[in-house]
Structure 1
Amino acid sequence: MNGSGNNSAVTEFILLGLSADPRVQPLLFALFLMIYLQTLLGNLTLLLVIRADSCLHMPMYIFLSHLSFLDLCFSSATVPKLLENLLSQRKTISVQGCRVQVFFVFDSGDTEACLLSVMAYDRYVAICHPLLYGQKITNKLCNGLVWGSWGLGFLDALINILPAISLDFCKDQSIPHYSCELPSLFPLSCSDVSKNFTIQLCYSLLHGLVTCVLIVCSYTPIVSTILSISSSSGGSKAF
């Protein structure tokens, strides 16, 4: 920390992580490293298979490839820093690094939520209106839905992170998590965070509610259609 200005300006935070026990931390490191490597391997394999096989260049697999890439982004935004801190004596992250982490968690998480609702609509058309699938889910619409999801996720992350850039931190540096989360930064700030809290609450509720409603509205007729299929093999395949 440095002592310029009226407040003692915090330049880094301490991530308390999952455990302070030095005997447990190597075990946690091995566990999360294994999970992270499996995540990387699984999603990279899926991306390569979809890219290499021209038969898979269709909307369903295009959505799936973007979902895999988002999973990589979401994991990579937090897990590498967690692994570093599990092996380090100084479990710190800079204020700027914390803000960057918060931004990418918001961006990838919100984009993934949008993409899941898009994929639900894709399955709705495929199962409930199979004869019209090729007309309704065109490549142009597919690309528009994908990049629209990315754009909404980026916009949501930007709206949440921009007010947080002006926050001053002058209190306890400790964050009781293994990664930076926007709500955990509010108690550490000596600025007025009411605006930040309201923005995050409103956008989280709006984003979560809209995506959940879209998913439910897509899967309700899907389940109804599947249950109405007389053939047990056809119903199992649809499920």
Structure 2
Amino acid sequence: MMRVDVATLFPEMCQRVLDESILGRAAKRGYIETHCHQIRDYTLNRQKQVDDYPYGGGCGMVMNAQPIYDCCQDIIRQVEEQGRQRPHIIFMTAAGQRFSEETAKRLAQYDSLLLVCGHYEGMDERVIEELADEEISIGDYVLTGGELAALVVADSVLRLQPGVLSQPEGYQDESHWNGLLEYPQYTRPEEWRGKKVPEILLSGHHGNIDKWRREQSLERTRIRRPDLYEAYQNEHNQNQKK
């Protein structure tokens, strides 16, 4: 059972998301475990202030190292008291490595993860240097805080855990799993607003259906994501040469 902890200024918001839908049901059944922690609880001042002005000037405020560090240390203690190893600690930052399905597969192998969410103009770099095993960004844009990014990472990693999805095919046929985008999907009715389901999907011939889906996946990737298509073709050609 994988455990994911989130250190944040908005634990109730994050926990509500993690307790819903597929992940919520998986947690109730004991397949995964999630906990969200309030960084503000670890401040040492009466005002519960967690930020201050940046050295060198500039806009905005920077989160203090101390409450983040103490919060993470307490989470580490809780995790280790369960008999687990120290969690793999990830700081959600705009300067981190870009997240991908391959990253999700790698992170899914850990027993526990600790996702740390920044806010305001970011976090004191010293606490990142002290604790982070890696920094992750979910894309080339900036959010108001790391919470949404942490939830994206948690969702994509936890759904890969045994028992969370009813069948492994639930994620193995999806976009990015094998480097390609997923083929088009259809359901009832057979005709909607004059648009019909492709005849091949009604044929019952699974071999032809699999071939059609692969062709659609390749063509969709070629048109929409030429970068992925080129990388896939290069890897495919290299494998053929081996």
Relative to the length of structure 1, the TM-score reads: 0.24
TM-score under structure 2 length normalisation: 0.23
Which structure dedicates a bigger proportion of its chain to strand?
A: 2
Q: Which has the higher contact order (CA 8 A, sep 6+)?
A: 1
